Amino acid sequence: MRAEIISVGTELLLGQIVDTNAPYLSKVLSSLGIDIYHRATVGDNAVRLADALETALSRADLVITIGGLGPTQDDLTKETIAHVLHEEMVMDPESEKAIRSFFDRRGIPVIQSNLKQALRPESGTSIPNDVGTAPGAVVEKDGKIIIALPGPPGEMIPMMENSVIPLLRDKVAQGTRAVIESRVLHVCGIGESAAEDKIKDLLATENPTIAPLAHSGEVHLRITAKSPDRQTAGRMISELESKVRERLGDYVYGVDEETLESVVVRMLVERKLKLALAESCTGGLVAHRITNVPGSSNVFVAGIVAYANDAKIRFLGIPEGLLRKHGAVSAETAEAMAQGAASKVGADVALGVTGIAGPSGGTADKPVGLVFIGLRTPDGVRAVRNVFGGGRLEIKQRTSQAALNLLRTYLIGHG
């Protein structure tokens, strides 16, 4: 079975709302073994929605629409489905009863626009909405299935779980049963092209497949397998994952929902080490990421955001002469920041971050994006130099990523 998802709503096209429904549906459909080759977003326009539906029906067995089931005049999804299928809209008695009951319980009179939501294409059936007033609809015709779902996730997800997933599971069971499973490997400390070069022959595999995905400061490698059952798919993924790890080694830091900061916190806990941070250009972003991890209080002592030179002198004990000689953005200052943070709070390891996030402040010798990261450990203190591209927020994010990975790399060798 091949599926296509159509998200409906002008607010999606304008960027006023982020579409979280389509990714959710993609995961659900993949878990059922349903292939998804296309996803579309269309505004609240009947002509353009009809065009999107006709295109989807020409290449998919299952089409799921999200949104456009409300009571207003621009909510036209079910009407457009009926138009494309050359059908009339009819009132669904159970849906009408549910809508009237919804308003009666709240002491609000029902108006005609609310009852509009109880209409459905004549050959379809309604899907009950236990949360809101917009019932969904299922239409099966000419070997195709169209499912219309409401846009609010709080209504769409329960409808999927209670009604649609059981329906689709039965449909899939009537054909060739298969599941699609994925695992995402998180890679840090190596660029996307360099990572691809190390595994380029593995990228040619057809089942399972590997898809590199670039992220800020790291690379994700999604391994996907299609198989009759989850156990077999999992084994196929694990075999390919082992080959990838052989090539990339410690560049691979985590899997699926793991974050770099969660891995660092876990390693600190395992090694019984306390962490301190001294940040300038990142403005506390590294500390923010660390404290997002449950249990970080067991290892994180303190973070000091010393933005001005006076703050670096006062709170981190950096000699004024060092700042005059080398400048705030220098390897020497980054090392002194890390050393000062560790000494002030009694931590075992510390990071010191200083740089130029831009968009102004750069020079020929010290351009925008220049960042020094100091690492203080029981073995001593050192600093690494980086030059990051992008805007101010991108530079801050990349810096925090590099700082955490520098600490992770040290912890790997000191288990």
Instruction: Report the C-alpha gap between 71 and 358 in whole angstroms.
Output: 48
Residue pointed to by tokens 């920041």: 337
Residue 221, both tokens: 């490698």
Lookup result for tokens 């009408």 = 96
Instruction: Give yes or no for a contact between 368 and 357, defined as CB atoms under 8 angstroms apart.
Output: yes
Tokens representing residue 90 in the block: 């009819």
Distance CA(276)–CA(342), nearest Å, equals 6
pLDDT in tens, the chain (415 residues): 899 999 999 999 999 999 999 999 998 998 888 989 999 999 999 999 999 999 999 999 999 999 999 998 889 999 999 999 999 999 999 999 999 998 998 898 988 888 999 999 999 999 999 888 999 999 999 999 999 999 999 999 999 999 999 999 888 866 656 778 889 999 999 988 899 999 999 998 989 999 888 777 899 999 999 888 889 999 999 999 999 999 999 999 999 989 999 999 999 999 999 999 999 999 999 999 999 999 999 999 999 999 999 999 999 999 999 999 999 999 999 999 999 999 999 999 999 999 999 999 999 999 999 999 999 999 999 999 999 999 999 999 999 999 999 999 999 998 6
* Per-residue pLDDT, 415: 67
Residue 49 burial (CB < 10 Å; 0-12/13-18/19+)? buried
Among 92, 67, 70, residue whose Cα is nearest residue 9: 67
Q: Which amino acid is at 66?
A: I
Nearest residue to 50 (alpha-carbon basis) of 71, 22, 89, 76 = 76
Strands 252-255 and 209-215: unpaired
Q: Which residue's entry shows tokens 């351009």?
A: 367
pTM: 0.71
Provide the token pair at 124. Answer: 């379809």
Distance CA(129)–CA(149), nearest Å, equals: 10
Query: What secondary structure does DSSP assign to 197-220, as a single string?
Result: HHTTTGGG-SSSEEEEEEETTEEE
Dist. CA 192–CA 218, nearest whole Å: 8
Both tokens assigned to 288: 């923010």
Nearest C-alpha neighbor of 192 from the set 163, 172, 212: 212
Q: Tell me if residue 244 falls in helix, strand or coil.
A: helix
Please give the pLDDT value at position 180.
81
DSSP letters of 340-407?
Answer: HHHHHHT-SEEEEEEE--SSS---SSS-TTEEEEEEEETTEEEEEEEE--S-HHHHHHHHHHHHHHHH
Q: Evaluate whether 409 touches 292 at the Cβ level (below 8 Å).
A: no
- Domains of the chain are 2-174 (3.40.980.10), 179-255 (3.30.70.2860), 260-412 (3.90.950.20)
